[in-house]
Amino acid sequence: MINSRYNPTRRALIFWTLFIGIGAVAGSVEMLADPTGKAMGMDALLPFFKKLPFSDLLFKNYIFSGIALLIVNGITNLTAAVLLILKRRSGIVLGTVFGITLMLWICIQFYMFPINFMSTIFFIFGAIQAATGYAAYVFERQESFSVNENGYPNIGTEKQRLVVYFSRMGYVKKAALEEANRTGAYIYEIKTDEKTDGTLGFWWCGRYGMHAWDMLILPIGIDLTRFDHITICSPIWVFGLSAPVRAFCRQSGGKIKEADYILVHHQKTPYFNAAKEMDMLLGLKNSPAKSICCRRGKYLSEKHN
Residue % of the chain over a pLDDT of 70: 99
Q: Which residues contact 57 (CB under 8 A, 6 or more apart)?
A: none
pLDDT digits (tens, 9 = 90+) for 230-279: 999 999 999 999 999 999 999 999 999 999 999 999 988 899 999 999 99
Residue 1 has pLDDT above 50, yes or no: no
Q: Residues 44-48: what's their mean pLDDT?
A: 87
The reported pLDDT for the residue numbered 305 is 84
**Torsion angles phi and psi, residue 262, rounded to 5:** -125, 120
What is the Cα–Cα distance from 251 to 256, expressed in whole angstroms?
Answer: 11
pLDDT grade for 130, boundaries at 50, 70 and 90 = very high
Residue 63, number of CB atoms within 10 A of its CB: 13
Check: CB of residue 237 under 8 Å from CB of residue 206.
Answer: yes
- Residue type at position 67: I
Residue 170 Ramachandran class (φ > 0 left, ψ -120 to 50 alpha, else beta):
left
**Rounded to 5 degrees, what are φ and ψ at 231?**
-100, 125
CB 161 within 8 A of CB 183: yes
- Longest CA pairwise span in the chain (Å): 86
Task: For residue 142, give every residue at least 6 positions away whose Cβ sits within 8 Å of its Cβ, in sequence order, or none.
Answer: 5, 6, 169, 296, 297
Q: How big, in percent rounded to 5, are the helix, strand and coil portions of the chain?
A: 55, 15, 30
For residue 213, which amino acid is it? W
- The mean pLDDT value for 3-24 works out to 94
Q: What is the mean pLDDT of the chain?
A: 93
Indicate the range of 12-21, 65-74, 144-153 predicted with least confidence. 144-153
Q: Are 229 and 159 in contact (CB under 8 A)?
A: no
User: What letter does residue 114 receive in the DSSP assignment?
Assistant: P
Q: What's the rounded Cα separation, in Å, for the pair 36 and 235?
A: 61
Is 40 a residue whose pLDDT tops 90? no
Mean pLDDT of 15-43: 93
Instruction: Please determine, for residue 131, whether its predicted confidence score (pLDDT) is greater than 70.
Output: yes
- In single-letter form, the type of residue at position 125 comes to F
Query: Confidence class of residue 2 from pLDDT cuts 50, 70 and 90?
Result: low
Kindly report, residue by residue over 173-215, the tens digit of the pLDDT: 999 999 999 999 999 999 999 999 878 888 999 999 999 999 9
Q: Which of 13-22, 45-54, 82-91, 173-182 has the lowest mean pLDDT?
A: 45-54
What letter represents residue 212's amino acid? A
